[in-house]
Amino acid sequence: MEDSPVAGSPVPQVDTSRPHSARMYDYFLGGKNHFAADREMAAKVLASTPMARTSARENRAFLGRAVRYLAAEAGIRQFLDIGTGLPTANNTHEVAQAVAPSSRVVYVDNDPLVLAHARALLTSSPEGRTAYIHADLRDPAAILNDPVTRDVLDFTQPVALMLIAILHMIPDEEKPAEIIATLLDALPPGSYIVASHITGEHNEGAAAAEGRFQEASLKAQWRNSDVFARLAFSDLDLVPPGVVLTSEWRNDEPGPRPTAADVSAYGGVARKP
């Protein structure tokens, strides 16, 4: 088993007094890594949008299907997963290495609690590699130039850039389009981007949650499908079925699907020509 060390920077403090998106998402998924402030804020969100749990579960299932598609059908062996979240079921390296054990994954998150749990993300198949860096999506150059990123990923070969359930935390004034362009410019043709995004289009409660996040000083900007598609996938070749509800993206599972109101998130995958 080959592990990469967590980047050697000092471990930042976990601020448990304020809610954090990673811990709230973990709460919605039924995990155990959250504090009172996260639970309080999550309870407020659930009061108006009880579907938040369904939305989180569908997002996670989308992540699994997208990574499986990339590894099994698109032949991708390298993943840059920004906004990793706390370790849970079907982490990116587990899904990718189940298909192709030689897959390499660099995880990136800015939550100190994710950093504290990073060791759980650093188990790799012997043939592949996983690494974690504590960094911020809003500083894409730092992510690209980090020695760990450079060591684990070969930028002459295709890479899948994963921005799953993170872009709705980058409001327009933080220039998400420029951030994505910087990241994609560094990747060779044949690379992919995978992204998912909360929308308020189908559910008034979900739309109102944006304001609740902002009141709690959490960054939030929900986007509709057109705006999300333009932001994440402009000038790229969208993989069918395009930008759809996360629950609908290449989902072959039989049985009833949650409603658009309950999912309230879009996902898509596109290839850099």
Q: Which of 106, 169, 209, 232 binds ligand SAM (CB under 6 A)?
A: 169
Contact between 164 and 233 under an 8 Å Cβ cutoff? The reply is: no
φ and ψ at 164, to 5 degrees?
-100, 120
Site for ligand SAM in 206-235 (CB under 6 A): none
Q: Which of 58, 94, 111, 262 binds ligand SAM (CB under 6 A)?
A: 111
In terms of residues, how long is the chain? 273
Residues ≥6 apart with Cβ < 8 Å to 230: none
Residue nearest to ligand SAM (CB): 85
Site for ligand SAM in 114-133 (CB under 6 A): 114
Taking the least distance from each CB to ligand SAM, the nearer of 32 and 273 is 32
Task: State the residue for tokens 């079907």.
Answer: 90
x/- map, 11-30, ligand SAM, by CB under 6 A: ----------xx--x-----
Whole-angstrom CA distances from 37 to 17, 78, 204 are 6, 36, 24
Among 29, 158, 183, 187, CA closest to 100: 158
Taking the least distance from each CB to ligand SAM, the nearer of 79 and 233 is 79
Taking the C-alpha atoms of residue 3 and residue 17, their distance in angstroms, rounded to an integer, is 32
Count residues binding ligand SAM (CB under 6 A): 21
Residues of the shown chain interacting with ligand SAM in the complex, contacts defined by CB under 6 A: 21-22, 25, 59-60, 63, 82-85, 109-111, 114, 136-138, 164-166, 169
